[in-house]
């Protein structure tokens, strides 16, 4: 009986340790995703490439590091369910292009900011990576939280404002006024 109890305890400790190491590993992985991406983005903006080249690099980085399908579904919300497969495809490619255009535009006026990676905390199936975007000359840093799932970014919160949630409200309002096809057309126009 005592042996059995010891065995149970051993099993419990072992499984607890496995759990801890799994959580620890995925937290580290999530932080690694953010660090690698930041290094790549920095390398891309520092080369002083032309707008077109930078956009090309950004689009590669975006595709490699962001789970565009998950983000696109999330921002479309309930309209995703009612969309036809054709609308979904069109929306995804237009959305991806528009986001890439938006992200590469943000790095146009890069002035020597750096990203400090802080603590990682689990959030359901995903990990939240806290970072600070340090401003040059001691300006107020900007707090950015990256939500990472399956090794890819699924949302970014800037000073508590989720890009995905904001985009969803934005799209939702546009769709209820103009319809999904109009939104797709508008995004296609913007993504160029």
Partner 1 sequence: MIRYLLSRVRFGLAVMLVAATAGLSGCATREQGEVWDPLEVPNRFMFAINQTIDMFIVRPITVTYKFWVPEPVQRGVTNVVQNLGEPVTAINEVAQGEPSRAAQTVARFLVNTTLGVLGIFDVAKEFGIPPTKEDFGQTIAVWAKAPPEDGGPYLVLPLIGPSNARDAVGLLADYVIDPFRILTWQLDVEYLMYARAGVTLVDIRSRTMQALDDIEKNSVDYYSALRSAYTQRRVAEIRQKGAPQTASLALVASGRPELGFAR
Residues that bind partner 1 (CB under 8 A): 31, 35, 38-39, 42, 77-78, 98, 102, 105-106, 114-120, 130, 132, 134, 137, 140-143, 158-162, 165-174, 177, 183, 186-187
Map residue 129 onto helix, strand or coil: strand
Residue 35 Cβ vs partner 1, minimum distance, rounded to whole Å: 6
Classify residue 135 as left (phi > 0), alpha (psi -120 to 50) or beta: beta
Neighbours of 37 (CB within 10 A): 20
Residue 176 Cβ vs partner 1, minimum distance, rounded to whole Å: 9
Task: Give whichever of 53 and 170 is closer to partner 1, judged by the CB atom.
Answer: 170
Angle 69-74-80 (CA atoms, 0-180°, nearest 5)?
85
Give the distance from CA 10 to its chain's centroid.
39
Q: Would you say the C-alpha torsion 137, 138, 140, 141 has a positive or negative sign?
A: positive
Residue 60 Cβ vs partner 1, minimum distance, rounded to whole Å: 19
Residue 81 Cβ vs partner 1, minimum distance, rounded to whole Å: 13
Task: Give whichever of 69 and 113 is closer to partner 1, judged by the CB atom.
Answer: 113
Contact in structure between 124 and 155 (CB atoms under 8 Å): no
Task: Give whichever of 50 and 137 is closer to partner 1, judged by the CB atom.
Answer: 137
Residue 166 Cβ vs partner 1, minimum distance, rounded to whole Å: 5
Cα distance between residue 143 and residue 129, in whole Å: 11
Task: Give whichever of 5 and 177 is closer to partner 1, judged by the CB atom.
Answer: 177
Task: Give whichever of 9 and 49 is closer to partner 1, judged by the CB atom.
Answer: 49
């Amino acid at each position: 009986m005592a042996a059995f109890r010891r065995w149970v305890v051993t099993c419990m400790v072992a499984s607890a340790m496995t759990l801890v190491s799994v959580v620890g590993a995925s937290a580290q992985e999530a932080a690694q995703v953010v660090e690698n991406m930041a290094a790549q983005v920095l390398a891309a903006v520092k080369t002083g490439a032309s707008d077109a080249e930078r956009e090309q690099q950004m689009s590669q980085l975006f595709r490699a590091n962001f789970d565009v399908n998950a983000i696109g579904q999330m921002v479309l919300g309930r309209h995703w369910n009612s969309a036809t497969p054709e609308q979904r495809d069109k929306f995804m490619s237009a959305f991806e292009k528009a986001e890439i255009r938006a992200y590469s535009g943000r790095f146009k006026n890069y002035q020597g900011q750096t990203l400090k990676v802080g603590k990682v905390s689990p959030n359901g199936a995903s990990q939240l990576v806290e970072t600070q975007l340090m401003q040059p000359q001691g300006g107020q840093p900007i707090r950015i939280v990256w939500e990472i799932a399956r090794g890819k970014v699924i949302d970014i919160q800037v000073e508590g404002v989720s890009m995905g949630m904001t985009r969803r409200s934005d799209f939702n309002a546009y769709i209820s006024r103009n319809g999904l096809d109009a939104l797709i057309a508008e995004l296609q126009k913007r993504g160029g």
